Amino acid sequence: MAISESKTPEKKVRMKRSIIDCDVHHLAPVSAIKDNLPRFYRDQIDLWGWRLPGPIYLNGGVQGLTVDSTPPDGSNPTGGRGDMEYLRTQHMDPFNVEYGILTGSDYSFQASPDPDYAAALCSALNDYTIEHWTSKDSRLKGSAFIAKQDPLLAAKEIDRIGSHPDMVQVIVASGAEKPYGNRFYHPIYEACVRHNLPFNIHVLTEGLGINTGPTGAGYVTYYPEYRAARPQVMMAHLASFIFEGVFEKFPTLKVVLQEAGAFWIAPFLWKLDADWKSLRFQTPWVKKAPSEYFRSNVRVTSQPIEAPPSTELFQQMMKAVYADECMMYCSDFPHWDFDSPLLTFPKLDDATWERIFYQNAADLYELPARRIEQGGTQV
Amino acid sequence: MNRFLVGMASEIPEGSKKIIQAEGRSVGIYNIEGQYYALRNTCPHQGAELCSGITASYITSNGPGDFAYEREGELVRCPWHQWEFDIKTGCMITDPKMRTKTYDVTVERYDVSVEENQLYVHI
């Protein structure tokens, strides 16, 4: 037997049971897909550059990444050491990730005013993800980017790529021109329902390009403010889905709220329920209390989970956001605010752990039960 | 059970109401299509005078932009937070477990000489 030499020392597997990680950022920058674009856009890029809105004001870590994700040779970590080898040795293997849902690394096209260009970039990126990532490791599943700027083009892309077995959801940035419940977007949801794909809203591009400002009070100066504003944007999307009647029109549609935190949802649902009691007759197509729609149609990923001052409060907040039914673990690897599956949560009871670290995601993305050697039942 | 005189039936024409005091309680008497209903004039939520709220219909919908009016005049919306209650049952529309008390109302026809019927609420 040949002894293979590994550049990166293998981390010992520490997770006894395998997990599903719902937010793994893989290296998929638009710069990698130029050759896959139509000639017209290649010519434009040669003449005028990428003409995409720039990144957010600031970030944490080293250009947004964990310090240990900087390559040993010190080369530029932009885009992350999200390469396949790094992902496997530093994350998938040590944390026993049974499935990782890939969420890309460049969302700039989500803020572009040119819907045709955005759609071309999305198609090329989706093909790139399948060719260079999901087809090379069966643990990896992809998210299909769409040009939400033009819902008909977006639906076309969902119809093109949505039935590929490695594409498990549709993904957009939370930065938008209108909140996502608006009827403008409904062709996207028709396509999601057609292909039985969840619609994932991942934070990014708020306040950039064509998208509205990052807060209702205007533009913020520093990155902590920007992070603090993310739940505001997600709140607007969540209320919009409910009160525009999206879940009545598309009862099987599932929406995932990603990376805006989770515990803000509790008082927000209390508020929505209270207001629905008072204002039911203004939107009579909303048949159930908003919290009921949340439970049936919305899922939230955990990272970056808020840190209540005591374990007792943490458990209460988990209950208040229906975590057993609605929360799915994610790490945000390799970003600097990575949540370790080992230490981020206080000790959870076994059933709750199982729902959050595996089963809720397996149900949503229709992934198999964990294999028997991973502590599961599937042979 | 005591009965309290509400007044003459003619004081509460169809679609209207009258609020009376009976045994220290405030009670709203509604006339819905010739039938009388009495509600405790207190919202179980935060204690507003429920019957001083807007008398409304039950608005339903098949989807955004579509509005249908059902059960004309059978709901009262609390004056403070606009919670809707079914006047006939006292139950809140969105959460029927939340309810205000209802009472029986009878019509007595003894004052026929002036063709006036007297309403009694039974508390």
Q: Is A280 on the interface with B (CB under 8 A)?
A: yes
Whether residue A281 and residue B92 make contact (CB cut-off 8 A), yes or no, is no
Judge whether residue A79 has pLDDT over 50.
no
Instruction: Please give the residue of chain A at the shortest CA–CA distance from B92.
Output: A277
> B-chain residues within 8 Å CB-CB of A276?
94
Cβ within 8 Å of A, B 82-121: 82-84, 92-95
Contacts of A84 (CB under 8 A, 6+ apart): A132, A133, A136, A137
pLDDT, mean of residues A251-273: 98
Judge whether residue A8 has pLDDT over 60.
no
Strands ordered across the beta sheet of A199-202 = A19-24, A97-102, A140-145, A167-173, A199-202, A255-258, A298-301, A327-328
Structure-token pair, residue A88:
């496997």
Contacts of A349 (CB under 8 A, 6+ apart): none
> A-chain residues within 8 Å CB-CB of B64?
183, 244-245, 283, 285
Complex ipTM tops 0.85: no
Judge whether residue A341 has pLDDT over 60.
yes
> A-chain residues within 8 Å CB-CB of B56?
281
Q: Is A309 on the interface with B (CB under 8 A)?
A: no
Can you give the pLDDT at residue A142? 98
The mean pLDDT value of chain A amounts to 92
Q: How many whole angstroms separate alpha carbon A247 and alpha carbon A243?
A: 9
φ/ψ of B113, rounded to 5, equals: -60, -35
Judge whether residue A334 has pLDDT over 70.
yes
Instruction: Please give the residue of chain A at the shortest CA–CA distance from B59.
Output: A281
Judge whether residue A317 has pLDDT over 50.
yes
Q: Best interface-test mutation with A: which of B82, B86, B91, B95 has the largest number of A CBs within 10 A?
A: B82
pLDDT, mean of residues A245-259: 98
CB B113 within 8 A of CB B15: no
Instruction: Please give the residue of chain A at the shortest CA–CA distance from B83.
Output: A278
Can you give the pLDDT at residue B4? 93
Can you give the pLDDT at residue A77? 47
Helices A223-243 and A265-279: crossing angle, nearest 10°?
Answer: 40
Nearest by CB: B84 against A183, A245, A281: A281
Whether residue B64 and residue A278 make contact (CB cut-off 8 A), yes or no, is no
Q: A1 vs A194, which has greater pLDDT?
A: A194
Task: State how far residue A285 is from chain B, nearest Cα, in angstroms.
Answer: 5
Can you give the pLDDT at residue A53? 92
Reduced to 3 states, what is the DSSP secondary structure of residue A22? Answer: strand
Q: Is A289 on the interface with B (CB under 8 A)?
A: yes
Instruction: Please give the residue of chain A at the shortest CA–CA distance from B75.
Output: A281
The per-residue DSSP string of B33-82 comes to TTEEEEEESS-TTT---GGGSEEEEEEE-SSTT--EEEEEEEEEE-TTT-
Strands ordered across the beta sheet of B25-32 = B3-8, B118-122, B102-108, B35-40, B25-32, B17-22
Conformation bin of residue B71: beta by default, left when phi > 0, alpha when psi is -120 to 50:
left
Whether residue B64 and residue A285 make contact (CB cut-off 8 A), yes or no, is yes
Q: Is B72 on the interface with A (CB under 8 A)?
A: no
Q: What is the dihedral of CA A234, A201, A304, A59, to 10 degrees?
A: -90
Can you give the pLDDT at residue A1? 39
Kind of pairing between the strands at A255-258 and A298-301 = parallel
pLDDT tens, residue by residue, A21-65: 999 999 898 999 999 999 999 999 999 999 999 877 788 888 788
CB A340 within 8 A of CB A331: yes
Can you give the pLDDT at residue A55? 74
Judge whether residue A12 has pLDDT over 80.
no
Whether residue A281 and residue B59 make contact (CB cut-off 8 A), yes or no, is yes
Of A292, A285, A104, which Cα lies nearest the Cα of A203? A104
Helices A115-132 and A151-161: crossing angle, nearest 10°?
Answer: 20
Can you give the pLDDT at residue A58? 83
Q: Is A248 on the interface with B (CB under 8 A)?
A: yes
How confident is residue A11, by pLDDT bands cut at 50, 70 and 90? Answer: low
Q: How many whole angstroms separate alpha carbon A291 and alpha carbon A267?
A: 11
Q: How many whole angstroms separate alpha carbon A266 and alpha carbon B42?
A: 30
φ/ψ of A292, rounded to 5, equals: -70, -40
pLDDT tens, residue by residue, A165-204: 999 999 999 999 999 999 999 999 999 999 999 999 999 9
pLDDT, mean of residues A322-341: 95
What is this structure's pTM? 0.91
CB A299 within 8 A of CB A256: yes
Nearest by CB: B59 against A245, A277, A284: A284
Whether residue A276 and residue B62 make contact (CB cut-off 8 A), yes or no, is no
Whether residue B94 and residue A277 make contact (CB cut-off 8 A), yes or no, is yes
Q: Is A271 on the interface with B (CB under 8 A)?
A: no
Residues of chain B with pLDDT under 70: 110-115
Whether residue B81 and residue A280 make contact (CB cut-off 8 A), yes or no, is no
Whether residue B67 and residue A284 make contact (CB cut-off 8 A), yes or no, is yes
